[in-house]
Amino acid sequence: MTPPLVDHLRVTAVRRLSPHLVRVSFTGPGLENLPTWPDQQLKLCFPQPGQTEPVLPALPPDGDPMRWYQAYLAIPAAERPVLRSYTVRAHHPETATIDVDFVLHGGADGPATAWAARAEVGDLLGRYGPDAQYARPLGESDWVLFAGDLTALPAIATLLESLAPDRKALVYLEVPDTADEQPLTTAAELELHWVRQGPDALLNAVRGAELPSGTGLAWLAGEAGAVRSLRRHLVGERGMAKRDIEFTGYWRLRLTQDDAPTEEDMAEVQERLAEVSQPTGLDTFERAYGENSAPWVIGEPQPAVVELAAAGEFRGEVLDVGCGDGQHTIHLTALGHRVLGVDYSALAITAARANAVRAQSPARFEVANALDLGPEPRYDTVLDSALFHVFGAADRAAYVRSLHRVCRPGAVLHLLALSDKGPGFGPEVSDSVIRAAFAEGWVIESLADAEYRGVVGQAEDGGKQLGDLPAWLAKIRRV
């Protein structure tokens, strides 16, 4: 029997492992059959002050996680549980329990840390997951470098336990106190270094590491700024390929997950976007939506698209491809157009549906692969706002063929893409790339300089600072 993705958890034990680490054991429906994998993530739902248990929407009958998240967002803010991501440290099927390790930070505690500091047997939380679609197995290599702070310890421990004897693991773990050090087990050849917490301590320790010969991978996690510095060191000074480095900012210094992205957060997203192409780079886009750091999410439709709509440039059946959080689909639907918004990111579609609920809009959204939109011509107008430019050459050609298949003869594609006249926030294209991509089966009726509004930093009030970036706006007709 498949365990439920959504349910309550009850605390069965609380154990202080070290001065800054507490292990909480939970039981709940389905945990006896829980499938496991290394670095297994789940969302914990913490109750609001005054609640004894979180308000937890049930998973809908069709099992659609996006509709669950939509129901979650529909809960009034004062009652809506706080969601935070944690690692399953251990699974005990014989007792139907899981262990989750919580780091007790010093200073002002966030809601999850504050809960963990006073957790007692019998307390109730909610969970979403673990969901196997978010499992990220390590690739093949001769050796793996692990580096992180105390928040990364549970994930690193489970990854070490999964390694085969023929691999070598170099581990650098930064801890506030020597009493926070823990025994780690692995069948691999292990070189373990405990690093005392301090400015650039982890970075300096990794700088001094002697990396083995052979093929290598790196796995980095912890405070977002430290992770970025480690990754830049490995790429810039060690010559590691970016594709060989898995990196995640678990937390931000002096900020919570709910705060707006900083300029450094934006830089991280820009780095990710500069090296990926849909759909192979889906994880980058999922993280950007999940961490509220997507630089194209501005809470409103693009001015260039609003002007197109006002000029009557949308007709018939409309496809908003790469719709993101749905602002264009919602805007065009409000104007009376028949529009379908599609995106490859499930989190994007979840956000779009939630935005439609807030706007009281009947806008329609679906998860879809832009490289395979279907075999039948169905659309008279297509909007591509900041999707085309993320594709590499091979995917770009597949995307254009996919568009051609679903467009009726005479259909119009409105293409808004970041220009190589930049700066932008990621991949940029030249006008010649656009012309070459649509050289067969299409006629480019216009291709002009335009502007794309994106997030360029953090505003003084802590919100997102918007700016207009150089872009191309093309009108392309399918023949």
Q: Which two tokens stand for residue 341?
A: 């918004």
What is residue 71's predicted lDDT score, i.e. its pLDDT?
Answer: 77
138-259 and 303-478 share one fold: yes
Return the domain boundaries, the chain: 6-133, 138-259, 303-478
Phi, psi of 432, deg, nearest 5: -70, -35
What is residue 62's predicted lDDT score, i.e. its pLDDT?
Answer: 64
What is residue 277's predicted lDDT score, i.e. its pLDDT?
Answer: 43
Which residues does the chain have with pLDDT short of 70? 1-2, 62-67, 69-70, 106-109, 252-294, 422-426, 457-464
> Which of the listed CATH numbers 3.40.50.11890, 3.40.50.80, 3.40.1390.10, 3.65.10.10 matches domain 138-259?
3.40.50.80
Give, as one character, the DSSP assignment of residue 401.
Answer: H
Tell me the CA distances in angstroms from 53 to 8, 78, 83, 410, one per residue in order: 9, 14, 13, 56
Indicate the residue type of 439.
Answer: A
Task: Work out whether the CA dihedral 309, 310, 314, 315 comes out positive or negative.
Answer: positive
Tens digit of each residue's pLDDT (9 = 90 or more) over 153-203:
999 999 999 999 999 999 999 999 999 999 999 999 999 999 999 889 999
Phi, psi of 243, deg, nearest 5: -65, -15
Rg (CA), the chain: 24
Rounded CA gap, 296 and 194, in Å? Answer: 39
Q: Which two tokens stand for residue 479?
A: 């023949």
Query: What CATH number was assigned to the domain covering residues 303-478?
Result: 3.40.50.150
Tens digit of each residue's pLDDT (9 = 90 or more) over 5-36:
889 999 999 999 999 999 999 999 999 999 99
Contact between 469 and 424 under an 8 Å Cβ cutoff? The reply is yes
Rounded CA gap, 20 and 83, in Å? Answer: 21
Contact between 9 and 30 under an 8 Å Cβ cutoff? The reply is no
> Which of the listed CATH numbers 2.40.30.10, 2.60.40.10, 3.40.50.1970, 1.10.10.10 matches domain 6-133?
2.40.30.10
Neighbours of 378 (CB within 10 A): 16
